[in-house]
Amino acid sequence: MKAPICEVCLKTDDILCPADEKKLQEGIISELDVKVARLLYKLIGDADVEFKKAVEAGDLVIIMVGEGDVPITIGKGGKNIKALMRELGKRIRVIESVEVKGTDDVKKLATDLLYPAGVFGVNIVYKPGGGTYYKVLVLSRDRKKLPEKAEVLESILSQIVGQEVKINFI
């Protein structure tokens, strides 16, 4: 398994090596990344999977993995997800990580995260005082299909994208 911390740190439950501790202090990785990386390593060990990062909001944790790595991460019958839910006390979603460069990427990510609600489109909005945010358009009739509260999903999306994301019902 590839992770944002080294193999030695994956195998311990203790402190981090100086290099990984520095990443944590600089905010390149989070406490949650370290925790999820170690739990995943216990579950999937040397499987050919890349764990990229984890974000959380409300009672939801999103685990981002490399292309094609979702099924192994989830495990047979969702057994890894169930184990992670027990350990973290939160609901878990595993998604393929997306490098966000524009609205198409935000749309792909939002489509994944908001399922079974559909995403109608994504716009960039220019704020009056400068700066931009992404507006994800969802049909009002799909509001009830959102897997989580809109605020939780907005927080998750903003953390992944690294820029403000708002959900708008049309």
Which residues lie near Zn ion (CB under 5 A)? 6, 9, 17, 20
Q: Is 101 exposed, middle or buried (CB count within 10 Å of its CB: 0-12, 13-18, 19+)?
A: exposed
By beta-carbon proximity to Zn ion, the closer residue of 6 and 125 is: 6
What minimum distance in Å lies between the beta carbon of 18 and Zn ion? 8
Tell me the residue type at 34. Answer: V
By beta-carbon proximity to Zn ion, the closer residue of 34 and 106 is: 34
Distances (CA, A) of 53 to 97, 116, 118, 169: 8, 23, 25, 29
The Cβ of residue 129 has, within 10 Å, a number of other Cβ atoms equal to 5
By beta-carbon proximity to Zn ion, the closer residue of 18 and 77 is: 18
By beta-carbon proximity to Zn ion, the closer residue of 9 and 106 is: 9
What minimum distance in Å lies between the beta carbon of 130 and Zn ion? 39
What minimum distance in Å lies between the beta carbon of 31 and Zn ion? 14
Q: Which helix (H) or strand (E) holds 137?
A: strand 132-138
What minimum distance in Å lies between the beta carbon of 145 and Zn ion? 42
d(CA 6, CA 10): 6
For residue 62, list its beta bridge partners: 55, 93
> How far does Cα 125 stand from its chain's mean position?
23
| SS3 call for 138 | strand
What minimum distance in Å lies between the beta carbon of 124 and Zn ion? 38
Q: Which sign does the torsion angle of CA 17, 22, 24, 29 carry?
A: negative
By beta-carbon proximity to Zn ion, the closer residue of 9 and 153 is: 9
